[in-house]
Amino acid sequence: MINVIHVDNSGFFRKVMKVFLTELGFFCESFDRGEDVLDAVETRKVSCVITGLELLDMTGEDLIKKLLFAGHPMTIIAVTSSGDEVRIQRLTELGVKATIQKGSDWKEKLREYL
């Protein structure tokens, strides 16, 4: 089973994402803090991290930088309610596979990148 970590400050969105990923056949762990994600990737084989950009203890962008700096081989996808094009471009330059806006079609878009 493929391990996916989802991190977001919204408890509701974490629940929705976990149900969605489980239905697709993934094993999903959910967190609200970036530090918890960093700890988890040290002890588990993680294929993908899906992160929001607002976390309880850091920004999603800071988490992405830390994950990439640590050199863990995984796909990173950002899911955000922001449409800030400059921020999206920065995430792309960092190496994020996709930045998906929350909205009516986020599930279809996410499915394309998993």
Average pLDDT of the segment spanning 96-106: 89
Q: Indicate the pTM of the whole model.
A: 0.92
Fold classification of 3-113 (topology level): Rossmann fold (3.40.50)
Length of the chain: 114
Confidence of residue 110 (pLDDT cuts 50, 70, 90): very high
Residues 50-67 have pLDDT tens digits of 999 989 999 999 999 999
Residues 6-64 have pLDDT tens digits of 999 999 999 999 999 999 999 999 999 999 999 999 998 999 999 999 899 999 999 99
Where do the structural domains in the chain lie, given as residue ranges?
3-113
User: Nearest Cα to 53, choosing from 29, 34, 75?
Assistant: 34
d(CA 86, CA 111): 24
